[in-house]
Structure formats: C-alpha cells, structure tokens
Amino acid sequence: MIFYLLYSLASFLHESKKINDEIEAIRVQNEENLIEIEDKKRRLEYLKTPQHVDKEAKMQMGKKQFGENVLVFIEEKLEILPTQTEQRKIDQVVREDVPNFDKWKWLFLGKR
C-alpha cells in the first residue's frame, strides 16, 4: 500500500512538472508573440507616415517634389583596352579592302 502511494505521488509530481514546463514554454512563446506584434504595429505606423508614402512614390514611380534634385548613379563597365581578338577584328574592319556593308554590319551587329 505504501509503495502504491509513493508511486502515485511520484507520478503526480512528474505530471505536474511536465505541465509546469509546458506552461512555461507557452509563456515564453506568448512573450515572443507580443514582441512580434509590437514590432509589426511599429512597422504599420511607419507605413502610414507621409515620409514612407513619399519615399515609395519616389522609388516606384520616379516622382520628385518641387525643388528637389535627383541624383542618378549608373554603373557602367568600361573596357579601356580591347582584347587581342577584338583588336584583330577592328584591324580587319578598318582596312581599306573591306566593303562598307561589312563595316556597317560589324559596327552595329558586332560580327563579320
């Protein structure tokens, strides 16, 4: 009988510990969810501000307000010196004996 009572008590304590661990995990998850909700509320408030609306209009539609200056940066890759094969093609096209049609084709299409 005493063994049964001790077993029941140990079983009850074990189940109680499992339940308390689950409750603590749920509390932690709730705190994380509350933090996420607050972040999303702040993001929503920012999305409603005129500064954000103005920024999006400028980014997506290319609009600007009166008196604003716009800087456009274009990244362009320039090859200063042609490669040897390109130089040979240029030399062939520049020669006098190449017909003008081939020169125009090389100029606009890049092929001979």
The 10s digit of each residue's pLDDT in 23-71 is: 999 999 999 999 999 999 999 999 889 888 888 877 776 677 677 777 7
Shared domain check, 55 and 35: yes
Gyration radius (Cα) of the chain, Å: 37
CB 94 within 8 A of CB 87: no
Residues 29 and 53 in one domain: yes
pLDDT in tens, 5-26: 888 999 999 999 999 999 999 9
Residues 109 and 66 placed together within one structural domain of the fold? no
Same domain, 101 and 58: no
Whether 58 and 6 map to the same domain: the answer is yes
Q: Are 93 and 86 in contact (CB under 8 A)?
A: no
Q: What are phi and psi of 67, to 5 degrees?
A: 90, -5
* Structural domain span for residue 109: 74-112
Domain count, the chain: 2
Write down the pTM of the prediction. 0.42
Q: Give me the amino acid identity at 78.
A: L
Q: How far apart are CA 99 and CA 93, in angstroms?
A: 9
